[in-house]
Amino acid sequence: MTRVERFAGVVAAGSTVAGAALLTAAIVLELGGISSRAELWSAAGAGAAFLLALAGPPAPAARRFAGRAGLLAATGFSALIAVAALWQGSVRPDPSVLLLLIPVALLFATAGLALREAAVERRRARLDRARSRLDGAEAERRRWARELHDDALQDLAAVQVLLAAAATAGAANATAQTAAIADAREIVGRQIQSLRRIIAQMRPLALDALGLAAALEDLARRARDRDGLDVEAAVDALPRLPAAAEIGVYRIVQEALTNALRHAGAARVRIEAGPHGPGVRVVVRDDGGGPPPGGFAAGHGLHGMRERAELLGAGLHVGAAAPRGTEVRLDLPVQAM
């Protein structure tokens, strides 16, 4: 958020509080029949304050429409009280004053439309989140299918060929039979390791047994062993988090490592995690090419990372690292613990 947006947020919040206070005063004056003039000015000031609050900083669509509806309704109610005070304060009430009820009605109608738009935006946001989850799950299934097809199935087919050759060789060629069986055992052993890796990626056992800190260190070790990436993990003692929070953080770090290897061309990656203020901060920094000029594409897994961070109520920053490379920083609030 920019400095101008922060200032607009402070002004909007202050205007809302001032409008609520003035509207409360106008209602008290109306109920007590104390002073129609004071009631008129209080109600008019409340309406002006609520209108000023409408110029607040941008927000997500559903929240923006809902907030606008509330402020418009409050403005309309303030205008209604002002019209009533104007009517009561007139020596000879003029029926033309009632024409002021027309813009009041328009304010309430606009508030109703804003509420309707907020409901539509909430429904659209729910559908987008559901579609994103389905797309992510489908992409994950395709990835597992590719790995199993390109790796496990081809090696199992090779094992079948070797065992068939061993059976054909028979006792007459014991050396060829022994070699074929040895090759088959080697392939089976390699596939056992590969399947263990796939299972660990699907659900890291260290996360359930030892917690997030151990799981991140295990993730770094497997990235070093499997991909040859120089991954350093500096993980301080972390409190146990809810299961959803731990798996969310783990997946974000896992995606950041994948990006560093496949997209950034990095040679070294550093994972840092530890308490930060009232929450937890996790940073993944690589020495790759850094963000492209136009920023990262959604296909770099950013959409999934941002969605996971949003579900956790966490802040996610993805940008350039110093002196080069990319930094992914996740700030997990205390309410996620």
How far lies 85's CA from each of 38, 82, 104, 115, in Å? Answer: 9, 5, 14, 28
Element (H, E) at 157: helix 154-169
Per-residue CA distances from 313 to 53, 56, 200, 291, 306 (Å): 25, 22, 26, 25, 10
Name the residue with higher pLDDT: 332 or 198: 332
pLDDT surpassing 80 at residue 333: yes
Partners of 270 in beta bridges? 232, 285
CA distances to 26, 78, 82 from 36, rounded to whole Å, are: 9, 14, 9
Q: Is the pLDDT of residue 98 over 70?
A: no
Please check the confidence at residue 210 and state whether its pLDDT lies above 60.
Answer: yes
Provide the pLDDT for residue 55. 75
CA distances from 78 to 42, 51, 104, 250, 326 (A): 9, 11, 9, 51, 51
- What CATH number does the domain located at 207-336 have? 3.30.565.10
Statement: residue 38 has pLDDT above 60: yes
pLDDT of residue 307: 82
Position with higher pLDDT, 178 vs 201: 178
**Is pLDDT above 90 for 329?**
yes
pLDDT of residue 133: 67
Report the side by side order of strands in the sheet with 326-332. Answer: 230-235, 268-276, 279-286, 326-332, 315-320
Q: What percent of the chain has pLDDT over 90?
A: 6
* Residue 25 Cα distances to 13, 54, 74, angstroms: 19, 21, 14
Cis peptide before 275 (omega within 30 of 0): no
More confident site: 192 or 329: 329
pLDDT tens across 100-145, in order?
Answer: 777 777 777 777 777 777 777 778 777 776 666 666 666 666 666 6
Contact 337, 241 (CB under 8 A): yes
Q: What is the pLDDT of residues 258-290, one digit of tens each?
A: 888 877 778 899 999 998 888 899 999 998 877
pTM equals: 0.50
Residue type, 173: N
The answer on pLDDT for 295 being more than 60 is no
Classify 122 in phi/psi space as left (phi over 0), alpha (psi -120 to 50) or beta.
alpha
Contact in structure between 8 and 56 (CB atoms under 8 Å): yes
Mean pLDDT computed over every residue of the chain: 78
Q: Return the DSSP state at 329.
A: E
Delimit the domains of the chain by residue range: 3-131, 142-201, 207-336
The interaxial angle of helices 212-227 and 174-202, nearest 10 deg, is 140
- Asked if pLDDT for residue 148 goes beyond 80, the answer is no
> Does residue 156 carry a pLDDT above 80?
no
Supply the DSSP symbol for 264: S
pLDDT tens track for 297-310 = 545 567 778 888 88
Residue 193 has pLDDT above 80, yes or no: no
Cβ 163 vs Cβ 180: under 8 Å: yes
Higher pLDDT, 166 or 236: 236
Would you say residue 227 has pLDDT above 60?
yes
**Using an 8 Å Cβ cutoff, are 314 and 252 in contact?**
no
Q: DSSP code of 54?
A: T
Tokens of 184: 């088959």
- 3-class DSSP assignment, residue 210: helix
Least confident window among 12-16, 118-122, 274-278, 316-320 = 118-122
Residue 15 scores a pLDDT above 90: no
Q: What is the mean pLDDT of residues 189-199?
A: 72
Q: What is the pLDDT of residue 269?
A: 92
pLDDT tens, residue by residue, 54-88? 777 666 665 666 777 787 788 888 888 888 877 77
